[in-house]
Structure 1
Amino acid sequence: MIKRRRFLNVAGSGLGGFSLAYLLGSCSQQSQNNAANSTSSLEIKTKVLRMGYQSAGDLVRNRKVLEKRLDPLGIKVEWLQFAQGPQLMEGMAARRVDIGSVGETPPIFAQVAGSNIVYVVGTQRTPNTGRSSVIAVPPESRLTKFEEIKGQEVYFQKGSASHYFILRALQSIGLTIKDIKIKSIPTIEARAAFLEGQIPVWMTNDPHYAIAEKMNRIRVLKDSVGLDSPGSYYIGDRQFAEENPGLLKIIIEELHALDKWASLNRNEVKKLMVTEQKLDEDVAERVMSRRTFAGRRGLSPALIAEQQRVADLFFEVGVIPKKIDIKQALLPPDLYAAITPAEIMV
């Protein structure tokens, strides 16, 4: 268990540089088939699944797909809400959450802080992914382009996906993270101040972005389209994951099926945003105009290498205080083969 103070300190500390890449050895096709067929050996010990989600909402929760699948097995699903990914990771470190969805950055910071986690499944990205994540200013700001950001106060949650976004965005114009003044605050807490013009530069995403748009109180300097992020993940507490591989398989299957449903039923997804997240219909329409449902991505050697690259970069530029090896937060390759549909292991 780690204390909140220790986790947040990790987000602001740093040292020198190192580069590490790791490729997970893959099973043979025969062993993959054997593992996939051996579902009867995949245990489920728990009777309660505690799912963490962020304040922006979660389609998995809204559709109740896990409840429908797990109720017949006598397993109850409990949902715990968190402001952002770092807070969710803290909850998992405190053993209050079993599984949760976060961006590429929070699990790296959690691993640095000593949290005993495992990657469960990733997310595909498309050329349009990133339209909903932006670096923005109030309409009256004197800043007219992102290249003018040097020396500015930039508000975002340290250790969140925004941390990687701003790092790479700054690198693209020849600047470093030291060229800005970071003010760490969760997006939901910063929104009101930004709408009142009290925050000079804000990193945000939907639905907060769409709400600010509706009020004509936001001007975008840069979105994260084209960012070389591996995408988001479902992360699990290691002990829970190792004791309940059969449950992980069910979760991945339901996520995979839900993505396919959502891509074909976008209007139904919008209605859920209105009824479950209490968004105005026009706000939900804006959110859906930018949302992609690219599907899940298994923990393949390629994805693991991409995530290692992100971790290495954070260390090289001094954002995290020590190098980490992503392989230490993984399950065995044959277990991933058993719980992950072959079509998403890319």
Structure 2
Amino acid sequence: MTDDTPRGTAPSRRTILRAGLGAAALAPLGMPALHAAERTVRLSYQRSSTLLTILKAKGTLDERLKPLGFAPSWHLFTSVIEPMNAGAVDLHADVADAVPIFTQAADAPLTFYAREVGSPSAEAIIVPEDSPIRSIADLKGRTVGVSRGSGCHFILAAALKRAGLAFTDIKPAYLQAPEGLAAFGQGSLDAWVIWDPFLAIAQSKRPVQVLADATGLSSYHRYYLANDRFVAENPGVVGIVYDALRQAGRWVKAEPDAAVALLAPIWGDLSPEVVATVNRRRTYAVTPVVRSELGEQQAIADTFREARLIPRDLNATAVKIWQPAAERG
């Protein structure tokens, strides 16, 4: 998730620090990290990174990586494309399906290593319940909040196209999710396109109308990516993280009350009802990435190219993929 303008060049040290990585980011950018573990696995995560948040909170990777001589370090981002393009961490936050299109367009050296099966109801275009806007077509000339380069950016573009509108027919307000939540609550936006948990938070704060969710537009798969070099040099570490993610996803569904109790305070003391809604809408089913199942990625790439959001045509299936040993031929 990100509202940063996608770029192919590495960000400045100030940008990385502002994004939340801090001193640990400086090593890959040519400066020594302070007090870094000898063999540290740098992982990024977002507020929507449920499974990674669970692994961090439980200390699962601390325990499982120790026999390999590694220790995890965790870095929270609200904007992810720049750190992904810069290679600022080793294993990146799970991202909505649209984000890898921008990183691929920037030639970022990234490998897909896991996919969370789609949850199309977990992102939506919403308006206040008392708004005169009743359809996507009614968004013409309206101010619509969206995070640039996010899966919601694609949902908005695709929904407008389906309604016979161009992206230029609206007034996009490019906002990070927390900023969008505030702006929507203050009435500064006519509509907002957003994902969980922010979608569930907005719905809990005031009555809203869902103009459309991702159903019929996108499956809203979430992808886990890692730096090419790290994957090549440390496949065993990637395998441990992959297995831990799968188990965390199963735990959320098998122990929903325990998952709510763990996540609510981490997500800013959200009500149990909001967290339960988020967890109900997400599948959390982690699977290997299969090239033949990346067709929706191509549709996203083509839509963004048509809207001039990426600079060139892409073959969205021509990406590097790591698979667990059991899936390899």
Same structural fold, with TM-score higher than 0.5 when normalized by the shorter chain: yes
Q: Confirm or deny that 1:282 pairs with 2:273.
A: yes
Q: 1:54 aligns with which of 20, 28, 46?
A: 46
Alignment of 1:171-186 (within 5 A): 171-186=161-176
Q: CA separation in 2, counterparts of 1:183 and 1:94?
A: 26
Alignment of 1:68-107 (within 5 A): 68-83=63-78, 87-100=79-92, 101-107=94-100
1:327 is displaced (CA, Å) by 5.2
**Conserved 8 A contact 2:102-2:310:** yes
Q: CA separation in 1, counterparts of 2:318 and 2:63?
A: 33
Q: Which residue of the partner structure matches residue 120 of structure 1?
A: 113
How many equivalent pairs are there? 292
Does the residue aligned with 1:93 lie in a helix, a strand or coil? Answer: helix
**Conserved 8 A contact 1:119-1:329:** yes
* Structure 1 runs of 4+ with >4 Å offset: none
Q: Deviations over 1:286-328 (max 9, x none)?
A: 32342323x1232223123442332233224433110123455
> Which letter does structure 2 place at the counterpart of 1:161?
G
> Which letter does structure 2 place at the counterpart of 1:163?
H
Pair 149,8 (structure 1): closer, same or farther in 2 beyond 3 Å: farther
Q: 1:108 aligns with which of 94, 101, 124?
A: 101
Alignment of 1:150-161 (within 5 A): 150-161=140-151
Pair 209,6 (structure 1): closer, same or farther in 2 beyond 3 Å: closer
Higher mean C-alpha displacement, 106-115 vs 139-148: 139-148
Q: CA separation in 1, counterparts of 2:199 and 2:219?
A: 20
Q: Confirm or deny that 1:248 pairs with 2:238.
A: yes
**Conserved 8 A contact 1:253-1:341:** no
Q: 1:319 aligns with which of 303, 306, 309?
A: 309
Q: CA separation in 1, counterparts of 2:154 and 2:174?
A: 14
1:66 is displaced (CA, Å) by 2.0
Q: Which residue of the partner structure matches residue 229 of structure 2?
A: 239
**Conserved 8 A contact 1:230-1:307:** no
Report the aligned-residue RMSD: 2.5
Q: Which residue of the partner structure matches residue 224 of structure 1?
A: 214
Q: Could you say which structure has the greater relative contact order, defined with CA pairs below 8 angstroms and 6 or more residues apart?
A: 1
Does the residue aligned with 2:80 lie in a helix, a strand or coil? Answer: helix
Q: Deviations over 1:265-284 (max 9, x none)?
A: 12221111223223222322
TM-score (norm 1): 0.76
Pair 323,76 (structure 1): closer, same or farther in 2 beyond 3 Å: same
Q: 2:159 aligns with which of 143, 146, 169?
A: 169
**Conserved 8 A contact 2:145-2:192:** yes
Q: CA separation in 2, counterparts of 1:209 and 1:168?
A: 19
Does the residue aligned with 1:131 lie in a helix, a strand or coil? Answer: helix
For structure 2, the residue ranges without an aligned partner over 5 or more in a row are: 10-37
> Which letter does structure 1 place at the counterpart of 2:39?
K
Alignment of 1:12-23 (within 5 A): none
Higher mean C-alpha displacement, 101-110 vs 302-311: 302-311
1:262 is displaced (CA, Å) by 2.1
> Which letter does structure 2 place at the counterpart of 1:185?
L
